[in-house]
Structure 1
Amino acid sequence: MDPFDKFKVLMYSHDTFGLGHLRRSRTIAHALVSHFPNVEVSIISGSPVVSAYPFEDRVDYVQIPAAHKLSDGSYVSGSTTSTFDDTISRREALIDEAADRIDPQLVIVDKEPLGLAREMLPALQRLKERGATTVLGLRDVLDAPELLREEWARKHILDHLETLYDEIWIYGPGSFYNPLAGIDLPEAVLSRTRYTGFLPRALPETGVAPNDYGSGYVLVTAGGGGDGYELMAAALNVIKQGLCDHLSFLFVLGPFMTDGQRFEIMARASGVANVRLVDFDANLEVIVANARAVIGMCGYNTFCEVMSFDKPALFIPRTAPRREQSIRAHRAEEFGWVDVLDIESAKNPHRFLAAINRLLERAPPSTAVARPDMDGLNRICALSEILLDHRTDAATVAATLRAASL
């Protein structure tokens, strides 16, 4: 494929909980437009905060109505005036309209093979019939194998996987984890699966921009914040006891923390001299880069930022409704990249303090024997080029056969 050829990419990000899917899709989109001079990328996103993020030239988004994932794993509409079924119907209609209008050559679906409640399936089938190349992009870890197996069986994913997707990209190295280990995949699907390595994060082109937060702080972050209250409360409990007066802390609460939890954390932190609170900042990369160390939950994006900026990290992962964060955190601990503490231990201020003290003495991930593979974006661009080459070759063969039959 001529890298200067024009082509369009459609990305799907269902965004029912947190910021992870949108931020991952945005990172890939920016890499694609940086690599291919004439590509245009459109991201279908269900995130209510998508407009808060800056996008590079030739990257735009199609916002669809929000749906929210509850702590028990079920879903509800993001609107108090619509049912979940009504929301899905509206989302599917907007997805169909965008797919027909954009008519992409390449489609990249994040995490949900059929979309939320199968909302992406009709558009995918039509785009495949038109000759689009389709990719399913998966995190390095999805869930515990037995839970993923049950989920995919319930959603009948394997009924469609082989016919819907040309490739599956796993956004991690093969040596780290196999997110599909619990699924009995047909050989045709296994042969199309590619490990990319982790997706690196970078600072804006201006470098480490001057910021309002300074540097050298211990960053406490819970990603989108929807399930970050226990981590924030436990960290404040340690700090308020005067056990960390020699340190400065920056808490980033996240846009999805409930109003009640946000008010309580802000009230408890009021007057604590070495704690600063930030509601939400779309440029978390700069905040991580300026930190001395990071305390977080080990969502995919936070993990990649810690690895990209080579920061000592203490992860306190959630274990419900998915075990994804816990699996990732403990696997990274086995590689010697991070420290891990469970939330019940973190609620004990003396155990949490001991973990913080170990964190401050910890060497960065780059000193481990096996360093994290952060070449995922380069590989994604290379894989995209190969797929589009195959698409061009197939079109040439088809045209030749048509001409010969005349």
Structure 2
Amino acid sequence: MADSKLPTLLFYCQHSLGIGHLTRSFALARALRERFRVVFLNGGRLPQGVSVPAGVQCIHLPPLGMDDGHAVISRDDDFDVATARAERRRLIQEAVARTRPAVLLVELFPFGRKKFATEILPMIRAARRLGARVACSLRDILVDGRKDQQHHDDRACWLVNRYFDAVLVHSDAAFARLEDSFRPRRVLRTPVWHTGFVVPERRLDAQRARGEHVIVSAGGGIVGDGLFRAALDAHRRTGVPMQIVAGPFLPEPQWQALRHEAAGLAGITLLRHVPDLAAVMCTARASISQCGYNTALDLVVSEVPALVVPYATATENEQQQRAARLASLGALQWMEPHLLDGAALAAALPGLLRFRPRPAALALDGAERSATLLAQLAGTAVQPQRVEAELAWSTC
């Protein structure tokens, strides 16, 4: 039971495609419980097998997401998008009025989630009127390949300066800083804290005896079909045993097609979802995966020899940047996504099985540091003392 004497933190999270934003946000919520009464606004579909952290009150909004064309879609057959949006706005405003939060923590916006601004901005304004401090929770690397990237960055900078008291970048500053992928033409005046990476609480034995199989995964799985099919083809060519973790968001028709294709293949195991991917990685000889935030950290903490094939589109490039940086540290190997097919994976397997990753010296205490910093933010009428120097970008 949450301590009623603790200040309230209202945490808004909208995960739209994968599971990464929700996983990181739940890990943060667990750390925040020690300092706040945490009320979590969940805007996406809750995946099967993923539980709300104990002691966290969760308000499930009618779930919305994004399709392959980045259009907003409903994840609940009982709501069309317009009806879902109206009900979400009502529930959000009701939550702000009822909880009167000391801190409002908003995941990604305004650096992303522009299509949800019509519910996020009224929430922020309402919370500020009640005296709340407002902070943004941000991953290590932002997408910076949009056609309108400069306008996007300038708009985000203006919104942060106007409405936010702090930006929490969940990264080791020696690995990636906000200014690496965010370049507005005006100075960002709001304080920026690089907290370290956020990883879920767990006990892992990275030195345990490993099996002979390669584990193949793609985060939530919604864009993993191409990787899984290439892995099956590589298995046919090499005979290397593989365990494929499809993920809870792999579309059901693709899951059934994958099961049909794998039927009768010796050395192939299919799993729909596992509760802790890093623990499963500790049992594998090697890993083939994409390179989302949480998957990358699972690879680092499990110390499994890893080959990553980042998910990428014309505008989605953050996984490639993360993969290249981790490869430069010797933590993993990576393959350009346009090269992905069964033959390329088969050719890469011998090198992967010989590969021994170097431990990546990254700060992994981001959840605890974030909780400390937000507690300071809640308890002061001026900027917290433990604040990094303001990032001074060129105004040209």
TM-score with structure 1 setting the length: 0.83
Q: Contact 1:269–1:275 (CA<8 Å) still a contact in 2?
A: yes
Say which of 366, 372, 375 aligns to 1:385. Answer: 375
How far residue 186 of structure 1 moved from its aligned partner, in angstroms, is: 4.3
Aligned equivalent of 1:85: 82
Q: Which residue of 371, 375, 378 corresponds with 2:365?
A: 375
> Of 239, 251, 257, which aligns to 1:244?
239
SS at match of 1:108: strand
Shift, 1:25, TM fit? 0.5
Stretches of structure 2 lacking an aligned partner (at least 5 in a row): 385-396
Matches within 5 A, 1:201-216: 201-203=200-202
Q: Partners of 2:109 and 2:211 in 1: how far apart?
A: 38
> 2:71 is matched by which residue type in structure 1?
S
Percent identity at matched positions? Answer: 24
1:259 to 245, 252, 261: 252
- Residue 233 of structure 1: aligned partner: 229
Aligned AA (2:326): A
Tell me the amino acid that sits aligned with residue 390 of structure 1.
T
Shift of 1:184: 1.5
The structure with the greater share of residues assigned to helix is: 1
What residue in structure 1 maps to residue 354 of structure 2?
A: 361
Number of residues of Structure 1 aligned to a counterpart in Structure 2: 373
User: CA–CA distance in 2 between the matches of 1:308 and 1:92?
Assistant: 39
Query: What's 2:341 paired with?
Result: 347
One-letter code of the match for 2:251? T
**1:46 corresponds to 2:46:** no
Q: Distance in 2 between matches of 1:348 and 1:363?
A: 23
Whether 1:336 aligns to 2:326 is no
Question: Per-residue deviation at 1:267?
Answer: 1.0
Report which structure shows greater RCO (CA 8 Å, sep ≥6).
Answer: 2
Rate the CA distance shift 1:309–1:148 in 2: closer, same or farther, 3 A. Answer: farther
- Contact 1:46-1:63 within 8 A present in 2 as well: yes
Q: Which amino acid aligns with 1:177?
A: A
Displacement over 6 Å in runs of 4+: none
CA distance in 1, matches of 2:299, 2:158: 37
Q: Structure 1 residues 259, 307: closer, same or farther in 2, change over 3 A?
A: same
Q: CA deviation at 1:375?
A: 2.5
Provide the C-alpha distance between the structure 2 equivalents of 1:59 and 1:40, rounded to a whole number of angstroms: 7
Scaled by the length of structure 2, the TM-score of the pair is: 0.85
Distance (whole Å) between structure 2 residues aligned to residue 282 and residue 21 of structure 1 = 16
Q: Displacement, 1:148?
A: 7.1
C-alpha distance in 2 between matches for 1:393 and 1:200: 27
Which runs of structure 2 are paired with 1:27-176 in the superposition (5 Å)? 27-33=27-33, 35-36=34-35, 39-49=36-46, 52-80=49-77, 82-113=79-110, 116-118=115-117, 119-144=119-144, 147=147, 149-150=149-150, 152=152, 156-176=155-175
CA contact (8 A) 1:18 1:224 kept: yes
How big is the shift at 1:80? 4.7
- Paired position in structure 2 for 1:403: none
Match of 1:221 among 217, 220, 240: 217
Alpha-carbon contact 1:225-1:255 (below 8 Å) kept: yes
Which residue of 1 is the match for residue 318 of structure 2? 324
Q: Distance in 2 between matches of 1:313 and 1:64?
A: 37
- Aligned mates of 1:148, 1:299 — CA distance in 2: 23
Two-structure CA RMSD over aligned residues (Å): 2.8
In the TM superposition, residue 85 of structure 1 has moved relative to its aligned partner by: 2.9
Report the 3-state secondary structure (helix = DSSP H, G, I; strand = E; otherwise coil) of the residue aligned with 2:380.
Answer: helix
Distance 1:159 1:84 in 2: 28
SS of residue in 1 equivalent to 2:65? strand
1:195 aligns with 2:210: no
Structure 2 partner of 1:401 = none
User: In structure 2, what is the equivalent of residue 399 of structure 1?
Assistant: none
